[in-house]
Amino acid sequence: MKRAFKFRFYPTDAQAAELARTFGCVRKVYNMALQARTEAWTLRQERVNYNATSAMLTAWKKTDELAYLNDVSSVPLQQTLRHLQAAFTNFFAKRARYPSFKSRKKSRRSAEYTTSAFRWCDGRLTLAKMTEPLDIVWSRPLPDGTTPSTVTVSQDAAGRWHVSLLCDDVIEQTPATGAVGIDAGIDSLLTLSTGEKITNPRHERADRHRLARAQRELARKEKGSNNRAKARLKVARVHARITDRRRDHLHKLTTRLVRENQTIVIEDLTVRNMLGNHSLARAISDAAWRKFRTMLEYKADWYGRNLIAVDRWFPSSKLCSACGALAQRMPLNVRTWTCRCGTVHDRDVNAARTILAEGLSVIACGGGVRPQRESSRTGRSSAKQENPRVTTGTPVP
């Protein structure tokens, strides 16, 4: 199994200049190839593939206007053409939108190197066109005996440099017992069927005052000035702090859930539609339910767990987990309610328990759950073939 390990590094001035040139050339080649493919189809109804764009790149390097493309490593330039080919493949398969041009200010600054464009020796990484290895902060060790097959260097909006090493890794799939149902919320980030409620840390709200102050300072600066560039970095650092803390919390939470439970049942929430509620959109975005599910999906696949997504229309909050009776109405302001059987329910705990019961019924005999989402990278679904309505991280036994 391939896993990416991401680390921060601190380049020298010469390395930073070389990487900046590489980022610019990668963006230039991508945009030119995209324009060539778009014009070929618009004007001549001709499809241009990767091999054709690779031949174009060779011709571009021989011109005086684009001779500077020879100053950087050729591997990242070839890799960006492969990325463009993958983008078109996803577009024609209706998994993604039409590829868009890369912007100097807004697009992600990155470059990908394969084994022919870097040297890995005794834990020291040296990229092509560089004489000194990168000063990487090894926050965790790589798997024993592994050698990176692909290296991706990037710089975020806050000016931080990162290197991602793609390595072969084997994760021991230790057996686990038990099952858990999960109800996502805002006051409590998650409510488990065991009755445990996990508090929502609200990372964006915690730094909202700091972010607003940085944005006000940015708005006062003259466009194009050095002071505006410095103010923009301050805003980006606040956003990076919020993102890092949120990601760290979700990683710890999802890893714990996957290691402790063999079966995990969640709701198939349509977060995009829920963001249309302007009263709750900011809080929903801060909770990052979409990111939480994505992490659960790939970690369930790593550890050999069953992940089931219950249909979004399943009335988990209105259904009594004790007798199965369905309540008529359940407004959002009702947090506790009493069923006609006499059971007093906490709204979120009851929802988590009914979600778990529905998920277990899927394993037993099939039920109303959403189909597995198709991966935009592989184009394949990991859903159980015998029952296409089951969403699982691994085949259900």
pLDDT digits (tens, 9 = 90+) for 138-154: 999 998 888 999 999 99
User: Is residue 3 pLDDT above 60, yes or no?
Assistant: yes
User: Is residue 50 pLDDT above 80, yes or no?
Assistant: yes
User: Is residue 394 pLDDT above 80, yes or no?
Assistant: no
318 and 326 Cβ atoms separated by less than 8 Å? yes
User: Is residue 237 pLDDT above 90, yes or no?
Assistant: yes
What is the arithmetic mean of pLDDT over 332-345?
85
Q: Which of 18, 112, 267, 297 is catalytic?
A: 267
Element (H, E) at 284: helix 281-287
Residue 380's pLDDT band (boundaries 50, 70, 90)?
low
What is the arithmetic mean of pLDDT over 19-24?
97
pLDDT digits (tens, 9 = 90+) for 169-224: 888 888 888 899 999 999 899 999 999 999 999 999 999 999 999 999 999 999 99
Residue 367's pLDDT band (boundaries 50, 70, 90)?
low
pLDDT digits (tens, 9 = 90+) for 90-133: 999 999 999 999 999 899 999 999 999 999 998 899 999 999 99
User: Is residue 385 pLDDT above 90, yes or no?
Assistant: no
Verify whether residue 348 is a known catalytic residue. Answer: yes
Please give the C-alpha separations between residue 177 and each of 257, 258, 259, 304, 322, in angstroms, as whole numbers: 12, 11, 10, 12, 23
CA dihedral of residues 189, 191, 197, 202 (deg, nearest 10): 0
Place of tokens 């409620």: 197
What was the pLDDT predicted at 378?
A: 52
User: Is residue 327 pLDDT above 60, yes or no?
Assistant: yes
Would you call 304 exposed, middle or buried from its count of C-beta atoms within 10 A (0-12, 13-18, 19+)?
A: middle
What is the arithmetic mean of pLDDT over 236-241?
96
Residue 15: half-sphere exposure toward Cβ, Cα within 13 Å: 19
Closest CA to 397 of 263, 254, 268: 263
User: Is residue 372 pLDDT above 70, yes or no?
Assistant: no
What is the arithmetic mean of pLDDT over 333-358?
88
Q: Report how far residue 113's alpha carbon sits from residue 133's, in angstroms, rounded to the nearest whole number.
A: 14
What was the pLDDT predicted at 384?
A: 39
pLDDT digits (tens, 9 = 90+) for 61-73: 999 999 999 999 9
If DSSP codes are grouped into helix, strand and coil, which group holds residue 290?
Answer: helix
Alpha carbon 141 to its chain centroid, in Å, reads: 22
- The percentage of the chain sitting over the pLDDT mark of 70, rounded to a whole number, equals 92
Phi then psi for 366, rounded to 5 degrees? Answer: 85, 145
What was the pLDDT predicted at 391?
A: 43
Verify whether residue 267 is a known catalytic residue. Answer: yes
Residue 379's pLDDT band (boundaries 50, 70, 90)?
low
**Domain ranges, ordered by start, for the chain:** 2-168, 179-200+248-365
Instruction: Count CB neighbours of 11 within 10 A.
Output: 20
Q: Which of 112, 183, 286, 358 is catalytic?
A: 183
Q: Report how far residue 56's alpha carbon sits from residue 36's, in angstroms, rounded to the nearest whole number.
A: 9
Q: Report how far residue 7's alpha carbon sits from residue 14's, in angstroms, rounded to the nearest whole number.
A: 20
Architecture per CATH, domain 179-200+248-365, reads as 2-Layer Sandwich (3.30)
User: Is residue 310 pLDDT above 60, yes or no?
Assistant: yes
Please give the C-alpha separations between residue 356 and each of 28, 184, 352, 362, in angstroms, as whole numbers: 51, 13, 6, 10
Verify whether residue 248 is a known catalytic residue. Answer: no
214 and 207 Cβ atoms separated by less than 8 Å? no
Tokens at 294, concatenated: 């994505």
User: Is residue 395 pLDDT above 50, yes or no?
Assistant: no
